[in-house]
Structure 1
Amino acid sequence: MTTANDARAASDLLERQAELLVAVATGGSRMDSVKWEYRERRDDLEIALRKVGLSDPFPWEEPSRWYAYYSANGMGTYASRREYIAELAAPIRARLRELMLGIAVEDGGPEHLDWPLLETRLREAKDRFAKSSTLDDFQDVGRRCRELLIDLANLAFDATMLPVGAEEPKGSDAKAKLGYASDYLFAGRQHAELRAVAKTTWDLANKVVHGGIGDVDAFATIQATVALVRIFQRATQP
């Protein structure tokens, strides 16, 4: 269930990321000096927003992508760049404020997921890949696949799958959940390759998210994600 503290944590990350984007676009920070800070916070922000049923409003993998975007889209003034970042953040900021005030109590997070909803999101990811042509597009496909794998982990994993004495993974630790679910559902030496599929798919999605890839990598990621969803469906559903 979403809490005010969850929303507050996400809001803090959102504001810090927005401030960084404005800073690099208005001469306040050098892109090279903040790119790692931006990337790390981007991952944290994605997880925090997902926990409250929201998505990251900033589509750029790193500050240089933001620079390329505003340079190519006529944002020649500092004011126009500030306004654009504010516009992107505004609906997420408003929703988080509602959650912090307790006005909006419905949680769109993993607790409400089911297989039909996962199927819908899978179809949306496939459609997104079909329309992709740029590096940013391919990275977005990777992000969507990673989100799908997080959803899949929350659907497939159950605490009864844990080995004796093992600590239950945190809510956002999809890699661990997929690993435990794979170990439980595909136990034995004869299923070693099946168990490896989950780890490989997760690693591939993260590789695509972090760039330096092309359409073949994005294609492989969406295909691997589809395959992994189908494998877990077959293993967990009657």
Structure 2
Amino acid sequence: MGLIFFRGAVIIGTAYRAPWQDVVAHLDALTDTITSFPNCDNLILAGDLNIDLLDSKNTKIPVLQQFLHCLNLKQIIAQPTHFHDDQTQTLIDIVCTNTSFKTVATKHTPELGRHAMLVVEFRIKKETPKPQLVTYRPLRGICTELFSEDLTSIDWNPARAPVNVDEQVEAMTAKVLSLFDRHAPLKTVKFKGPPHPWITGTVRRMIRIRDSYHAKYKEDRSKTNLLQGHETCGD
């Protein structure tokens, strides 16, 4: 499961390894799955890998540690998670993450089974989007007739005069930019955050149509303009 917080992504997954499955093959497959998510800022992996972390002689522990090291993950459960009938306890249920956390609790209710419930409270920081300055040319506002007249009147001879090709390109570029600076000067707009995903292209077109009818009605508050606006945009 993936969650998106502004520009940050949180991937939450579970994993289970049966006792008879090969540890290396299982962790390799798990690594392939995790690395298939390219835009992952925070990862939370929980599950039962059937590797007792309380058994210092368990040869599978170094393999798991290498897996965690390669993915920059930390296993944060320290208390027993599996309780046997003979009163022995093991730590086979784990929670691995690369994000910070506040509290970790292990709660075992015998009536519900041998496995304990793991409760972890994470600190997933909500990233505040930084304002962005976007510079563009409002090409839609160009008057094509005036633009064509000015384009036709440009004297291109000075651009052909230099022998060096680079100088010719520079001179021609300067004339073209001068033309666009006259008809579509650069504008800089400040965006406080990323665009809302629900404001689609269709919604933007509807907003422009609504605003155009509103502006038309402000200039001429006739009943005809009012009815046209209501018929087109709805009540």
Fold-level similarity (TM above 0.5): no
Length-normalised TM-score, structure 1: 0.22
Length-normalised TM-score, structure 2: 0.22
Of structures 1 and 2, the one scoring higher in RCO (CA 8 A, sep 6+) is 1
Whichever of the two has the greater Rg, that structure is: 2
